[in-house]
Structure formats: C-alpha cells, structure tokens
Amino acid sequence: MELTWITCLGLFFSMLGVAYTILVERYRQVWEKMPEWEIPPGYVPGVMVSVVIPARNEAAGIGACLESLLRQGYPAHLFEVLVVDDDSSDETAAIALQVADSRISVLRPPGTPLPEGFVAYKKRALETGISKAKGELILTTDADCVLPPHWLELMASCYERKGWHGITGPVAFQEEASLFERFQSLDLLGMMLITGAGMRMGLTHLANGAAFGFSKAAFEAVGGYSEISRLASGDDLLLLHKIMARYPGQTGFLKTAQPVRTQALGSLIAFFRQRVRWGTKSKSYSDWKITAVLALVFFLCWSILLSLALLFWLPWYWLTIPAFLISSKAWADYRMLRSAARFFGRNDLVNVFWPAQALHILYIAWVGLASNLVGSYKWKGRRVK
C-alpha cells in the first residue's frame, strides 16, 4: 500500500514535469514566430501622448528618467510628461521641477483624508496624473526607468496602426554588478518572452507598469482602478484584465528589442519583497488560465524540492524523479531563456543559467507560498496589502 502511494505521487510529479516542458516549449515557439514591431516607414505621429510617472522617493533616478523622455524623437507638441509626487520625503519633486521644459508638469495627489485601511497609493497617484492628462494615449512608466530613444514612437505607432486599447511592452535590467543581479536580468527576460507569447496565445495576460499604455477612453470606460483599489499593487496587470474584458481582441504585447531599462535589486530581501508584492495580485485574477499556469510552475518547483527531500527516505526509488524533473525543466528553460537573451542582445546572461535555475526553483516555491500567506508587506516605506 505504501509503495502504491509513493508510485502515484511520483507519477503526479512526473506529469507536472511533462506539462511544464510542453508549455514552456510552446511559449518559445510562439515567441520566435512573433513579428517584431517596428515604426512603419513614413509614419507621421498624430496622437497626443501623456506619460504619467508616479514617483515616491525617487530622487536618485527621476532626473535620468526625464532626460530620456526629453530625448525622444516624438514631436514635442504631441506629448507631455506628468510626474506625480506621491508624498516623497526626499528631493524627487524638486529635481523634477528643476527640469526646464514646458512639457513636464509636477503634480501631487489631493490631500483629502484617506479612508481607514487605504492602500492604493500608487493607483491614487496614477489617477491624479490621468485626470489631468491631455493625451488620447496614456503611457505609464516608473521614475527609476530609462526609456529607449524611440519608445514614444513605438508605442504610439502601435496604438494608431493596430487600434489596441491596451499595450504592454518589454522591460529589462541593466548594469548588473553581481551574479544575483544577473540572475534577475535573465529571469526578467524570460518573463518578457512569456508575457509576449502568452498574450499572443490568449493564454496568459501579463503587464509591467514600467512599459504600459492604454487609451484614456478605455480607462474611463472600465471605471479606472475602481474594483481593484483594495490592493496596493495591480495598477498594470489588473487594469489590463479589465480593459481586455471590455475590449476583447484589442490588447497586445509590443515586441521590440528596445526595452525600458531599470536597475535590478541589490539585496535578497528587497527581491523577495518585490516578488511577494507581485504575487499577491494572483488572488484577484479573473482568468483561470493564468491561475492554472502559475499553479503548474509553483507545484513543479515544490515537487522538485519534495522529491529531493524524499531521497533520504527511499534513495534508489526517488533518485529518478528529481533527476527527471530537474533535467526536463532545465531543458525547457534553457531553450526559452536563450531565445529571449538572443532577441534582447544579452547572450552573456546565459552564462549564469545553472545558478539561476537553482535560484528560480527556490524563489518560485517560497515566494509563491508567501504570496498566499502574507497579509501585508512594506512598500515604499508604507505597510500595505
């Protein structure tokens, strides 16, 4: 009876490995067939664009972010930048105000008393900017990001030519100083591939607020951040899901080798907190397919860890299970990550694949668990949930 139970568990673990391998390989195949978006020949911009940047204690990066926006080739009279200072305690607002350009405005959220338990500070900042925006197309990014030279043209041309009401684009880390930061870079490139391919497949619909766009009309039509303001996070992904529900088939991923750049996190604690924050949104997903995919990855990683632990119990029996799971996951991940690294011109990151693979298994298992158990966390010096 004991052997039968163990055999069934081993078969279940193996099925997870097979399912994961098939899924990841499918993502890679779809990604490689996706056309890269390029600015159409002879494209003449015609849409007014408002770039909204929520900023809290971002004095170290806001200057470079604004400089990268002012270097854009987009017509000056067709875009504006709205920096919303989210109660910073540093010089964020002062630095933004020092930039001598009429296209940049610095705003602050209204000072009305907030309800007890309020956590949607970033959404409040974004709403402040969007309410003042003159543009038909709203683009959001983060204050610690540097935008590629043609970002506005890429996003605007995609919006005008494809008619999408929601656009999500790639984000990548830069200037890594350690193995841990290089792991984060490789991991993020894989997430970009999954984001693009997943949206193309209609399977997983992800977004990153550092490179996100939507029509102001769509934002208003879906009620903005209402219904998702109970969470501190989710200003990108959960809003995208609302827009998708209202405008089926009119959202997509802008595949370009010119990602928005930002810095990897320097400490394990900061990384863990970031990923837990991202993970807490999963409880609010309305699409069962994305929940199923996340569950598959989560249970696979725990299957690897549990099967390794069971080696101490029945070493000869369990030796084959973790070997199969690790090898199949590594095979699929390597092919996917190599494809992503090649597209974004970061082949050097593939050199850290094996330590990155070990870290990926551990962080998915523990962050996935913590995301469902943790009720609140600290973000930008605030206790939120």
Which of 206, 192, 186 lies closest to 256 in space, CA to CA? 192
Q: Which residue has the higher pLDDT, 381 or 42?
A: 42
**Average pLDDT, stretch 309-331?**
84
Phi, psi of 353 (to 5 degrees): -55, -50
Q: CA–CA distance from 30 to each of 194, 202, 291 (Å)?
A: 10, 11, 20
CB atoms under 10 Å from CB of 328, counted, come to 20
How far apart CA 360 and CA 183 sit, in angstroms, is 9
Percent of the chain with pLDDT over 70: 95
pLDDT at 148: 97
Q: What is the pLDDT of residue 32?
A: 98
Question: Measured between alpha carbons, how far is residue 307 from residues 3, 236, 354 in Å?
Answer: 15, 36, 19
Assign 3 a pLDDT band (cuts: 50, 70, 90).
low
Q: Taking every pair of C-alpha atoms in the chain, what is the biggest distance, in angstroms? A: 77
Neighbours of 75 (CB within 10 A): 15
pLDDT in tens, 121-172: 899 999 999 999 999 999 999 999 999 999 999 999 999 999 999 999 999 9
Q: How confident is the model at residue 317 (pLDDT cuts 50, 70, 90)?
A: low
Tokens of 123: 């959404």
Contact 81, 106 (CB under 8 A): no
Written as six digits, the tokens of 134 are 């003159």
pLDDT value, residue 1: 37
Residue type, 70: L
Give the dihedral of Cα atoms 290, 293, 294, 298; nearest 10 deg: 170
What number is the average pLDDT over the span 268-280? 87
Among 12-21, 159-168, 226-235, 299-308, where is mean pLDDT lowest?
226-235
Query: Using one digit for the tens of pLDDT, what is the confidence trace for 51-69?
Result: 999 999 999 999 999 999 9
Residue 371 pLDDT? 83
The confidence score (pLDDT) of residue 105 equals: 97
- pLDDT value of residue 220: 98
Whether 310 has a pLDDT exceeding 90, the answer reads no
Torsion of CA 255, 331, 296, 30, to 10 degrees: 30
Give mean pLDDT, residues 297-304.
Answer: 96
- Tell me the mean pLDDT in the region 248-260: 97
CA proximity to 210, closest of 195, 222, 224, 220: 195
In sequence order, the β-bridge partners of residue 213 are: 139, 167
- The DSSP bridge pattern shows strands 137-140 and 212-215 to be antiparallel
pLDDT at 318: 66
* Average pLDDT over every residue of 298-316: 86
CB-based contact 368:381 (threshold 8 Å): no
Mean pLDDT value across residues 94-119 = 86
Average pLDDT over residues 374-382: 69
Average pLDDT over residues 90-111: 93
Domains of the chain by range and CATH? Answer: 2-32+288-384 (no CATH), 36-169+208-266 (3.90.550.10)
Which residues have CB under 8 Å from 266's CB, separation 6+?
Answer: 177, 178, 180, 181
Task: Answer yes or no: are the C-beta atoms of 30 and 341 closer than 8 Å.
Answer: no
The two three-digit tokens of residue 212, written as one number: 């996100």
pLDDT of residue 307 exceeding 60, the answer is yes
